Amino acid sequence: MAAPWRILSLPPLGEDIVRGLFGSFGDTVEVAFPQTRDRAGLLAALPDAELVIGDFSAQLKLDAEAVAAAPHLAFVQMPAVGTDSIDGAALAEAGVPLANTAGANARGVAEWAVGAAFALCRHLVWGDRHVRAGEWPQTELLARGTREVHAQRVGVVGYGAIGAEAARLFQVLGCEVSYWTRRPRASAPVRYRELDDLLATSDILVLALPLTDETRGLIGPERLALLPDKALLVNVARGGIAPDDAVLAALESGRLAGAALDVFDEEPPPADSPLRAHENVLLSPHAAGGTTQSQRNIVTMLLDNVTRAVQGHAVQNVVNGVDPQVRRR
């Protein structure tokens, strides 16, 4: 009988949840967890690991050093779409496939982007804050320049599952929607524009692309300056794509009338970050995809891929270019 596969599950997935997921696997797997949620705990747990379920909060990073500490590692499954906290190249060099759960939370994130656009256009957070403080700023709210979402031109940067779904939802609302991606889609039902042109024609700019070496700082000060005056920014991608200081500068200059940020350069942002105090910023704790439905989809995809690996079948959604056939080392 073959030895059980040794699975290392990283937090914040709870131990009870993980043990429940793999309870039906019997003695074909052994599930372990780091003793402490820190770098030392991760490195201490890796030497025996064959399959790793990643940390979707990105606190525990699988960098090159961590990969080197796992000589038996055969497969890494990220319970999320983003994999920027994992060194995919180091895994590829070791012949280890890295998979994500692409599309699992696309509807949830896209709905958050649309909801955030409504909140910014109508100053919902500002109004709520002042009414809770005992005020009744009816005329002041109107003076801030409320808008109807359907009248806005929407530009979507990134056209994967999330970007495409966000574009579809905005189009249903009656918005003029355009998109940019490195590889235009011939079948896309919305208009493709070159990036600078997209920025110059976007009243609402939605960022929905992965963080890579090529996209880091992509929407910096120069590109934010291309936006129409009083544009709105919705970022459901990664903070490093539109750096926090560039966003803050655009808000202070008036180029941006508001920003809805689910992601930041540093998560959580520092306690003294000016973004925390800015009245035209909607803040969210990197939870745009955190719906019951999305989490169910992620768990289903995770369980399916681990099952494939354990049973000797090719895994799905490999993102680092490695053969999807998992092989024990």
Q: Is 279 helix (H, G, I), strand (E, B) or coil?
A: coil
- In the annotation, is 267 catalytic? yes
CA distances from 114 to 36, 204, 233, 288 (A): 38, 10, 11, 11
Q: Is 167 helix (H, G, I), strand (E, B) or coil?
A: helix
* The pair of three-digit structure tokens given for residue 185, joined into one six-digit string: 């889609």
* Catalytic residue flag (residue 129): no
* Residue 288 to residue 285: CA distance in whole angstroms: 8
Residue type, 79: P
Helix ranges, the chain (H): 15-21, 39-45, 64-68, 88-93, 106-122, 124-132, 138-143, 161-172, 195-200, 221-224, 244-253, 274-277, 292-311
The answer to whether residues 237 and 214 touch, using CB atoms and an 8 Å cutoff, is: no
Query: Annotated catalytic residue: which of 223, 238, 255, 308?
Result: 238
Active-site pick, 6, 147, 286, 308: 286
Alpha carbons 7 and 73: distance in angstroms, whole number: 10
For the question of residue 122 being annotated catalytic, the response is no
Given the residues 130, 267, 313, 328, select the one marked as catalytic: 267
DSSP string, 202-239: -SEEEE-----TTTTTTT-HHHHTTSPTTEEEEE-S-G
Mention every residue, 6+ apart, whose C-beta is less than 8 A from residue 226. 196, 199, 200
Catalytic residue ranges: 238, 267, 286
